[in-house]
A and B are shown apart, each in its own frame.
Chain A
Amino acid sequence: MRVINYAAAIREAHAQLLDADERVFLIGQGLWSPWYAGSSLKDLDRQFGQERIFDSPVSENATTSAAIGAAIAGMRPIVFHPRMDFMLLAVDPIVNQAANWSYVFGGQIPVPVVIRAVINRRGEQGAQHSQALQAMYAHVPGLKVVMPATPYDAKGLLIAAVRDGNPVLYIDDRVLYEQTGDVPEEMYEVEIGQAAIRRVGRDVTIVATSAMVPEACQAADVLAECGIDAELIDLRSITPWDKNCVLSSVAKTGRLVVVDAAWKKAGFAAEVSATVVSEAFEALRAPIQRVCLPDAPAPAATVMEGAYYITVDDIVAAVGCTLGETNSRRMQRAG
């Protein structure tokens, strides 16, 4: 199969959607920029025209609302937020409007809009160019939230999101843009709400989201060298999320580590943990571990970023905690 990177997969999904469905259009900041969206939207304006690829004024609220209004009027818009932080200026249209519209009108007026938010981090960008706010949106009824970790899913989930017919928040992470993988050339969908088991194992379940999937994959390699057989689940969607996949895995392993590169407090890892405690309590053989960001804004200084962000070692250590002291010592020796 053809191998392309994550950013190219996103671009291809956009191009094919625009080509296949005249109701699809893009609005948001940076769409005509050669660098703002990495290569994930490169030259779409040249290919499809600047009417349909609308690089917008600095009006997150109005552009997001306009995408919602166009969706209600029968279009299939994708609104682009080059930083998830900036999207906070559009919380009213996302939370009050898009998420409520179907419900408050008794299911008669759908909002087939895709809201794309990019997480960026590191590079001394500081607190307002780095935030991962997925838990806020996962909290809200009426929104679907997807977080692809691979090029294959980046393409398939975007196509599924546009075709879904409901508001879907599509969150991609700049850290992943250069990751490569197999991506079919034709259009295909990845089902929203279905996780992927990236590695089968029997000792511990690691559930990861988005950019934490490759980190957790490396951690699983390290653990394997220590004789610890980790099962890795890539959630892919966090609303709805694949509860059954996680519960089945924990039923087998009895141990759970949740890795989500966002704040721990009231975060999505807490949702996964609470669900497993209430629905698979008997299966658990150790306390669940959450590997998340410290309860602090993102710092700027590189040295502090090193302390702030999640590393492979953090994930390995959390797995050690779930395995108890004997295994921890075994891991230290192997390390």
Chain B
Amino acid sequence: MDEEAKELDCEHLRQVYRTMVRIRLFEERVADLIESGEIRTPCHLCIGQEAIAAGVCAALRRDDFIWGAHRSHGHYLAKGGDLKALMAEIFCRTTGCSRGRGGSMHICAPEVGLMGTVPIVAATIPIAVGAGLASALRGDGRVSVAFFGDGATEEGHFHESLNLTALRKLPVIFICENNFYSSHLSLLQRRAHDNIIDSAAAHAVPGVRLDGNDLDEVFSHTVAAVRQARNGQGPTLLECRTFRWRGHVGPSWDRDVGVKRKEELQEWLKRDPLQHTCRHLLQLGVGHDVLDDIRQAAGLEIDAAVEFARRSPRPQPSELTEHIFTSSQETSAQCA
């Protein structure tokens, strides 16, 4: 751990735990609603990976940029996106964060710096680089964070981006959420060695492999990376090792990946990031009642979000060709 990196104090830790709980319960509710047939948009759930989104975003400013992929409900919530609007988007309603045009894989919360998520694997990595380039040109101190999975490191986007940011020392943080599976293929079915982190050194970028289920570890390394980025010292790659509990897409646990993954999953279930943080809070003297209240409040918030989504209108077919281009008024507002 970086000597200078600060740890989460008790109050901050409790807030970040709340973020993790909201993500977990949100995703579990989405899983239920898929099974009951109410949600149709393909959802890639991040249950088991919550500490990464929560820990990284806890180290960021509201105006820092983040970018996601297909498994990004957690990133949205961790950065401070409106929970109701996310649920409504997953219901494809006009009140959704993308006005019902995006579904689960195209979500945004520009008011808090989530500028978009897309399911083309690795696509937002170099786009994040561009936001970092914008920050560097303006000198405004904002950092840009790309969240992506282990599969994305097999795309050229990733390597081109590491080189470009290293060359210009751009304020970009690459967060690889290595959950050891890309769809149905394990890491070692896709590369000769478990060596994603070596790509950092190959491009002269500092890189750290860390336990992605340990909130404190994720947070402290992100703090160090943010400090470096804001100081004009360039990018960092953090490989956060974790595991997704559910299948690649949808609510099921192991439908598409077979017995081998089931055994691995049993091991990873013992390393639940929420329980890890929960234990830490209890050690710090936070009472069980406080933690129960957090869970209960999150459950109620999600109940309300589901009701909001159900009541919200669907987009109309007559609006099919709206938003293909952004009108000049909208553009000037965004750029102001």
Binding site for B on A (CB under 8 A): 23, 25, 27, 51-52, 54, 56-57, 59, 61-75, 77, 92-93, 96-97, 100-110, 112, 141-142, 144, 164-166
Interface membership of chain B positions 304-336, coded 1 if the CB is closer than 8 angstroms to chain A and 0 otherwise: 000000000000000000111111101110110
CB-based contact A106/B127 at 8 Å: no
A217→B25 CA distance, assembly (Å): 68
Q: Which of B104-144 contact A (CB under 8 A)?
A: 106, 108, 110, 115-116, 118, 120, 123, 125-135, 137-138, 144
Give, as a whole number of angstroms, the nearest-CB distance from B94 to chain A. 8
Contacts A104-B106, A109-B108, A109-B116 known; list 9 others, CB within 8 Å: A59-B160, A61-B157, A62-B126, A66-B164, A73-B134, A75-B134, A105-B98, A107-B330, A144-B325
Q: How far is the CB of A18 from chain B (nearest CB, A)?
A: 12
With a cutoff of 8 Å between Cβ atoms, the chain A residues found around residue B106 in the complex are: 104-105
- Check B335–A66 contact: CB distance below 8 A: no
Chain A residues within an 8 Å CB radius of B251:
none
B326 near A69: Cβ-Cβ < 8 Å: no
| Nearest 8 CB-CB pairings of A with B | A69-B130, A106-B99, A165-B331, A65-B126, A107-B323, A62-B160, A66-B130, A110-B326
CB < 8 Å neighbour of B131 from A64, A73, A100, A107: A73
Does B167 have its Cβ within 8 Å of any Cβ on chain A? yes
Contact indicator B324/A96 (Cβ below 8 Å) = no
- Does A109 contact B110, Cβ atoms closer than 8 Å? yes
The answer to whether B206 has its CB under 8 Å from any CB of chain A is: no
Would A166 and B325 count as touching, CB distance under 8 A?
yes
Q: Chain B contacts of A69 at CB under 8 A?
A: 67, 126-134, 144
A112 contact set on B, CB distance < 8 A: 331, 335
- The reply to whether B325 and A51 contact each other, CB–CB distance below 8 Å, is no
Instruction: State whether A61 touches B160 (Cβ < 8 A).
Output: yes
Chain B residues in 8 Å Cβ range of A67: 130
In the complex, how many angstroms separate the beta carbon of B63 from the nearest chain A beta carbon? 11
Query: For the complex, what is the distance from the CA of A227 to the CA of B168, rounded to whole Å?
Result: 62
Determine how close the nearest CB of chain A comes to the CB of B209; give it in whole angstroms.
Answer: 24
Given known contacts A59-B164, A102-B324, A107 and B99 CB-to-CB distance under 8 angstroms: yes
Q: What chain B residues lie within 8 Å of A64 (beta carbons)?
A: 126
B161 contacts chain A at the CB level, 8 A cutoff = yes
**B65, CB-defined interface residue at 8 Å:** yes
> In the complex, what distance in Å separates the CA atom of A66 from the CA atom of B108?
18
Measured between beta carbons, the chain B residues less than 8 angstroms from A66 are 126-127, 129-130, 133, 164
Distance between Cα atoms of A97 and B335 in the complex (Å): 19
CB-nearest residue of chain A to B102:
A104
In the bound assembly, the distance between CA atoms of A166 and B144 in angstroms comes to 22
Which residues B44-92 have CB closer than 8 A to chain A? 65, 67
Q: Closest Cβ of chain B: how far from A69's Cβ, in Å?
A: 2
B271 at the interface (CB under 8 A from A): no
Chain B residue with Cβ nearest A72: B115
- B261 close to chain A: CB less than 8 A: no
Distance in angstroms from B69 CB to nearest chain A CB is 12
Partner of A68, one of B130, B167, B324: B130
Report the minimum CB–CB distance from B175 to chain A (whole Å).
Answer: 16
Q: Distance in Å from the Cβ of A30 to the closest Cβ of chain B? A: 16
Verify if B247 is at the interface (C-beta below 8 Å from A): no
CA A104 – CA B131 in complex, angstroms?
A: 19
- Asked if residues A103 and B130 are in contact (CB atoms below 8 Å), the reply is no
Q: Give bound CA distance, A70 to B67, whole Å.
A: 13
A110 to B327, CA, bound (A): 9
A102 to B144, CA, bound (A): 20
Query: Could you jot down 12 A-B contacts, CB within 8 Å?
Result: A59-B160, A61-B160, A65-B129, A69-B132, A92-B123, A93-B127, A106-B96, A106-B101, A107-B322, A109-B326, A142-B325, A166-B331
- For B326, the chain A residues whose CB sits under 8 A away are 102, 107, 109-110, 165-166
Nearest CB in chain B: distance from A32 CB, A: 14
Across the interface, B331 reaches (CB within 8 A) one of A56, A92, A105, A110, namely A110
A72: B residues at CB distance < 8 A: 115-116, 127, 130-131
Would you give the shortest CB distance from A35 to chain B, in whole angstroms?
23
Give the residue name and chain of the A residue nearest to B334 (CB).
A110
Q: Is the CB of A97 within 8 A of B127?
A: yes
Give the Cβ gap from B261 to chain A, nearest Cβ, in Å. 29
Whether A106 contacts B331 in the complex (CB less than 8 A), given A65-B127, A70-B133, comes out as no
**Chain B residues positioned under 8 Å from A75 (CB to CB):** 134, 137-138
Which B residues lie within 8 Å of A77 (CB)? 130
A69 to B322, CA, bound (A): 23
Considering residues B115, B116, B328, which has the most beta carbons from chain A within 10 angstroms of its beta carbon? B116
Which of B65, B110, B126, B335 neighbours the largest number of chain A CB atoms within 10 Å of its CB?
B126
A62-B161 in contact given A74-B335, A106-B99, A106-B323 (Cβ < 8 Å):
yes
A105 to B126, CA, bound (A): 19
Per the bound structure, the CA–CA distance linking A68 and B157 in Å amounts to 14
With an 8 A cutoff between CB atoms, is B41 at the interface? no
Q: Which residues of A contact B134 (CB under 8 A)?
A: 69-70, 73-75
- Whether B182 is near chain A, meaning CB under 8 Å from some CB there, is no
B325: chain A residues at CB < 8 Å are 102, 142, 144, 166
Contact A61 B137 (CB under 8 A): no
B42 contacts A by Cβ under 8 Å: no
B137 touches A106 (CB 8 A): no
Question: Chain B residues near A101 (CB, 8 Å)?
Answer: 116
Smallest CB separation, A49 vs chain B (Å): 10
| Residues in chain A near residue B108, CB distance under 8 A | 105, 108-109
Q: How far is the CA of A97 from the CA of B119 in the complex (A)?
A: 10
Q: Would you call B156 an interface residue if the criterion is a C-beta within 8 Å of the partner chain's C-beta atoms?
A: yes
